[in-house]
Structure 1
Amino acid sequence: MTQVVHLHVGAPKSGTTFVQQVLEHNRATLEEAGVLVAGPRLDLIHAAMAVRGDRRLADLPEDAAGAWDRIVEQVRSWPGRAAVVSYELFANASADQARAALARLDGLEVHVVVSARDLGQAIASSWQEQLKFGLTRPLEQWSPPQESAAGSEWGWRTMQPANVAARWGADLPPERVHVVTVPSGGAGPDELWHRFAEATGLDAVAGLDLDVERANESLGVVEAELLRRVNVALDGRIRGGRQKSLWQRDLLAHTVLAPIGREPIGLTAAHLDEAAAEAEAAIAAITAAGHRVHGDLEDLRPSPRDARLPGEVTDAEVAGSAALALADLLVWARAAGADVRTPLDTDAEPAPVGRADRIKGAVRGSLERVTSPVRDQRVVRLERRIAELEAEVARSRALHLRVATLSDVVAQLLLPAAQQDEEITMQALRTYRDRSL
């Protein structure tokens, strides 16, 4: 039965994707060592929404609202010693919401893990993530929403580690609240995992494979400015969080623009001052609270970056990136099987569908397959398990047939000689032999 739960609550853009990829990749090894990796990811996403009372749950399937209950039940029913629950947007919960969520884990030894990075880079990441959902304001005129902005998933409410630790760790002993810092330049590529593993006790598990594909969904400064201009041109024609995440984030930003350029995004002097002040406050608060630190709190301070601001990007650079993006979108649509021709024989055919709808319908399936690797891995595991169960059922059915046939033989042999039908007895014996060999 589970005794210890490590609840990794964020923050966003603090290496959480890498950590979660390692956890998923080593799920079987960890389970053999008695450690549950809770999930699947879709349940974790919905669980975080349920904990936060997110109004968007009303637009999702009915069972989404019960996702946190399912995660809790999965943890409680696990026969091993420990469980890890990791999803970055638990960070946005209020103190009352966190308290209510932790109450469902009453009786277990809960440890809260908060990961955090250079808070200057966090500002650039926050602006970039909001671009993927339609933001049009230039970086130079933008700053992260403050702690009091409860609805913001990309502001100081989630990026400031001391605030997240205070809300989630309010009722926990300080030694059960862990702050993991993303290492600054110069550290090895696996250092973040080693810090996380130390915080969660996974450093004691041997044989973990850290060779996972490292998704880089960050945009270069030119591509970020291009996306901002596309958002202006869209003028709200793509609406709703699900549609924006599918088309603006997954297709345009991650699939098309991210591979084009990786030039880092610079910050204004005001941004650097704001990040430095937040880092100073975080270091002081975490130290005073006595939380356990894995890494170095100095990693939170903004480091100087020789990088351009989006406003310094030239129109020619944006045009060059846009040409590459359009070329990739054409190739993408062709590979997805889109047929943008309007049929001419309208007598026997249904009313023609618009070109945009045709592309949308044709691309959607391929897009969702490419941009949902965790879900695809889960499908593979489920298909493998289904095959195993079907084989087990077949073996069981064969065994039952043999037992039934043997019962017929025994019944015939045990009958008094006067009541035996020699032909029936011999047939029963032949059937048993055929099914047994």
Structure 2
Amino acid sequence: MQRVFLHIGLPKTGTSYLQSIVWPQRDRLAELGVLVPGREKRDHLLSSLIVRGDPAVARRGPGADRAWAVVCAEVAAHAGTSLVSHEFFCSASAEQWARAVADLAPAEVHVVVTAREPLGLFSSSWQESLKNRSTTALADYGRSESDDPRVVWDWRALDLGLVLGRLRDAVPDERVHVVVSPGPGDPRDELWRRFAGVLGVDPEAVPHERAFPNASMGVVEAELLRRLNAHLGEFHSARERARWIRTFLADGLLVTPDAERFWPDDDQVADARQRGERALDVIGAGRYDVVGDLARLRVPDDLPARRHPADVTEAELLAASVRLNGQLMGEVRRRSDAGERHRRTPAPSSARRAYTRLMRRVGRGDSG
């Protein structure tokens, strides 16, 4: 039977962790009967833009606007199971879901929704918005539910109940698999095990030991990045923001092993708690396939004391900024020394041409 699993997020529920297993093991999954369609990893991101009617896809380079057609064609040509994974699909409207399911016909469409309790999800989502050059303060974040399917850093994409509601007319409940994020006492690879089980794959048959979930910034580092973003206007494109702000600056320099966690305002905590309860009501009224403990989707009644980003002092920000400048100087020196060593090393013309091509790919942000 032709089946396609659409893993649609939610954002900040371990999607990058799962994708860091799926894409390097694409060939191994194919051996196990699971096709991961597309020319490269970013075709799944581009497909999510196309499905959601985002004109930004036109700025993603030649052939970007064909990504969804390529994915659908490969799914149609594969006799077994296929997997498409990107967290931005979750913002699609009900009408867009209906079209997407029709595009994938005659394959039987299953939707995989990874989910976690909405308060932690909300705080992580704000951090991710900062990595996309947002300057919105946490107190002002998530105050609405957008009607625009192009919007992803908003309760439109974070509220599990809303996402399930938009899916209902396009995909039967029993083919929607809600995979609950593991808790602190679970094995580190438990999310992969649950996800692989939904796909019908033996989790041990796919190497996954080197994959790690994303780490978080602390409250001081997050507030520092928010303020820095006002001065990073030259990083215009999504690719530049992903390469330099998210990967190099935030994940590479501002994430610390002893990150101080934080909470939003009390009314935002209450809102997240209510959304979690409504999502549980939606699931309870449906016939969804739930993998994991639904109680983990509920915001706990008793929360540990944590600071708010607005409580960060100017002295703390100055100290963090000084540390960051020291790290940046060290990185500039390492890169300069590496470039100088390369210039001093003679290389055959063919090797030099290959290196030049590689550097051009890195500069464009192409994936391998």
User: Deviation at 1:235?
Assistant: 7.3
Q: Which residue of 2 aligns with 1:263?
A: 260
Alpha-carbon contact 1:178-1:294 (below 8 Å) kept:
yes
Alpha-carbon contact 1:38-1:85 (below 8 Å) kept:
yes
Tell me the amino acid that sits aligned with residue 190 of structure 1. D
TM alignment of 1:176-191, pairs within 5 A: 176-191=175-190
Distance in 1 of aligned mates of 2:243 and 2:25: 28
User: Deviation at 1:245?
Assistant: 3.2
Tell me the amino acid that sits aligned with residue 24 of structure 1. W
Tell me the amino acid that sits aligned with residue 300 of structure 1. L
Distance in 1 of aligned mates of 2:242 and 2:171: 35
User: Deviation at 1:242?
Assistant: 3.9
Distance in 1 of aligned mates of 2:236 and 2:197: 42
Tell me the amino acid that sits aligned with residue 53 of structure 1. G
Tell me the amino acid that sits aligned with residue 228 of structure 2. V
Say if 1:11 and 1:336 are closer, same or farther in 2 by CA, change over 3 A.
Answer: same
Alpha-carbon contact 1:50-1:68 (below 8 Å) kept:
yes
2:273 corresponds to which of 272, 276, 296: 276
Q: Which residue of 2 aligns with 1:173?
A: 172
Distance in 2 of aligned mates of 1:149 and 1:51: 13
SS in 2 for 1:62: coil
TM alignment of 1:12-161, pairs within 5 A: 12-39=11-38, 40-79=40-79, 81-161=80-160
User: Deviation at 1:67?
Assistant: 0.3
SS in 2 for 1:6: strand
Q: Which residue of 2 aligns with 1:247?
A: 244
SS in 1 for 2:6: strand
User: Deviation at 1:144?
Assistant: 4.8
Say if 1:289 and 1:302 are closer, same or farther in 2 by CA, change over 3 A.
Answer: same
Say if 1:148 and 1:53 are closer, same or farther in 2 by CA, change over 3 A.
Answer: closer
User: Deviation at 1:77?
Assistant: 1.8
SS in 2 for 1:202: coil
Distance in 2 of aligned mates of 1:253 and 1:92: 25
User: Deviation at 1:206?
Assistant: 5.3
Alpha-carbon contact 1:251-1:367 (below 8 Å) kept:
no
Tell me the amino acid that sits aligned with residue 189 of structure 2. D
SS in 2 for 1:104: helix
Distance in 2 of aligned mates of 1:318 and 1:120: 25
Distance in 1 of aligned mates of 2:275 and 2:46: 30
Tell me the amino acid that sits aligned with residue 8 of structure 2. V
Distance in 1 of aligned mates of 2:86 and 2:55: 19
Say if 1:144 and 1:124 are closer, same or farther in 2 by CA, change over 3 A.
Answer: farther
Alpha-carbon contact 1:12-1:88 (below 8 Å) kept:
yes
- What is the TM-score normalised by the length of structure 2? 0.85
The more displaced of 25-34 and 59-68 is 25-34
SS in 2 for 1:183: coil
Mark the runs of 5 or more structure 2 residues left unpaired by the alignment.
Answer: 339-357
2:228 corresponds to which of 215, 227, 230: 230
Work out which structure has the larger RCO, using CA pairs closer than 8 Å and 6 or more positions apart in sequence.
2
* Structure having the higher Rg: 1
Distance in 1 of aligned mates of 2:61 and 2:16: 25
Say yes or no: does 1:212 pair with 2:197: no
The more displaced of 92-101 and 132-141 is 132-141
Q: Render the CA deviation track for 1:92-149: whole Å, top value 9, x for unaligned.
A: 1111111111111112121111111110011111211222233223213433531534
Alpha-carbon contact 1:5-1:109 (below 8 Å) kept:
yes
Distance in 2 of aligned mates of 1:60 and 1:24: 20
4+ residue segments displaced more than 6 Å: none
Distance in 1 of aligned mates of 2:204 and 2:312: 48
Tell me the amino acid that sits aligned with residue 266 of structure 2. A
Say if 1:146 and 1:44 are closer, same or farther in 2 by CA, change over 3 A.
Answer: same
User: Deviation at 1:51?
Assistant: 0.9
Alpha-carbon contact 2:9-2:88 (below 8 Å) kept:
yes
Say if 1:174 and 1:227 are closer, same or farther in 2 by CA, change over 3 A.
Answer: same
Distance in 1 of aligned mates of 2:41 and 2:195: 19
Say if 1:230 and 1:338 are closer, same or farther in 2 by CA, change over 3 A.
Answer: farther
Alpha-carbon contact 1:112-1:169 (below 8 Å) kept:
no
Say if 1:119 and 1:367 are closer, same or farther in 2 by CA, change over 3 A.
Answer: farther
Tell me the amino acid that sits aligned with residue 277 of structure 2. E
User: Deviation at 1:186?
Assistant: 1.8
Determine what percentage of the aligned residue pairs are the same residue.
34
SS in 2 for 1:85: strand
Say if 1:7 and 1:151 are closer, same or farther in 2 by CA, change over 3 A.
Answer: closer
Mark the runs of 5 or more structure 1 residues left unpaired by the alignment.
Answer: 340-363, 377-437
Matched residue count: 346
Distance in 2 of aligned mates of 1:33 and 1:219: 37
Distance in 1 of aligned mates of 2:291 and 2:105: 26
Distance in 2 of aligned mates of 1:235 and 1:15: 28
Distance in 1 of aligned mates of 2:173 and 2:257: 44
User: Deviation at 1:285?
Assistant: 0.8
Say if 1:335 and 1:206 are closer, same or farther in 2 by CA, change over 3 A.
Answer: closer
